[in-house]
Amino acid sequence: MRYSTISSAFMALGLYASTASAVFDAKSNSNVAVYWGQGRDQIGLSEVCEDPSIDIVNVGFVNYFPKKVGDYPGTNFANACSGTNYNNTDGTESKLLNSCPGIGPGIKKCQANGKKVLLSIGGGYPHDYYLPSVEVAKYFAEFLWGAFGPQTAKWVRDGKPRPFGDAVFDGFDLDIEASEEPNPPFADYKWANYAAFVTHLKKELFPKALGQYYISGAPQCVIPDARLADAIQNSLFDFIFVQFYNTPQCSVRAGLNEIQGKPPNVNGAKFTFNDWVTWLNTYSLNKEVKIYIGLVGDTHGVEKDKESYLTPAEANTLIGYYFRRNRAIFGGVMLWEATVSKRNQLCNKNYG
């Protein structure tokens, strides 16, 4: 069995004991989460699930949000789907993909191998999504739960979409990156109503099913995050996957330079991991939330800020340093993304 370079870092710290069929531990501080669904010429989800080093797979993205009750959301999973869509209830074509044959079996394979699979909403493109009201936020939560949560006879009998058949996600991830709009739909559109969305899932929908379901968020490294701060303060998140890349002023490169006593990578750069720990301990509604250091699996995983990629030796230094100082809240490492990590072979090991 080959472990990844990131898992080797946890092994060096005496933390890593995963196998291909290990039981997932949400309280662990050596979990590895990885995004899949947007890689260029990406590998299949089932191949990702064969990797014993990975504990959480975030499948992305649901990238089009309903603007009113009754609208179907839209999805994009790159080359995993054929491009055909469901029709809305009024007969018009929606943006919800209906032919992604490998994803359902991939979800089941991941779960058979002890991994949790979350459906990620948002993403980097397009940036024009938002939730216009609490009513729509709750409808969106109910639609996602019906379409991607435990399958119910009523949902099927009513002819509602099940894009991946009877495969069931273990929860949802919020990667909210809505852009600055020149003509914003309303003042608080970047962050409004996500707390209501999460709370409806956590308090009303998840308890209806057997098993444990999770909510994660993937804020940018700038603190507080303009899009997710309100939701983290007012609803229950289990994992926070901070994206310490693509933003030079607070990236992992800034963190490594600080540890090594080197000059900042850009003027005023400051790694914000400790600030995130303080902020979460102070403001997070869930006082047992876990924070993950977000890394890129290769320079090919970032469009800008190539310096945010750390070599395995550099990543090991950073992970060890911040783990030892933040054991209680440290959850592990998040990687963007599965395909670039898989193809970044170092000493016959995947990066992640």
Contact 227, 190 (CB under 8 A): yes
Task: Identify the three-state secondary structure at position 8.
Answer: helix
**Looking at 50, 93, 177, 181, which residue is catalytic?**
177
DSSP 136-184: HHHHHHHHHHHHHSS--HHHHHTT---TTTT---SEEEEE--PPPPSS-
Contact 280, 244 (CB under 8 A): no
- 292 DSSP β-pair partners: 241, 332
The tokens of 260 are what? 């090594």
The tokens of 135 are what? 């009513």
Instruction: Decide if 177 is catalytic.
Output: yes
Of the candidates 245, 227, 333, 247, the one whose C-alpha atom is nearest the C-alpha of residue 290 is 333
Intra-chain end-to-end CA distance of the chain, in Å: 14
Encode burial over 275-297: b for 16+ CB neighbours within 10 A, e otherwise.
ebbebbeeebebeebbbbbbbbb
DSSP 213-258: -EEEE--BSSSS-TTTHHHHHHS--SEEEEE-SS-GGGSHHHHHHH
Residues assigned a catalytic role: 177
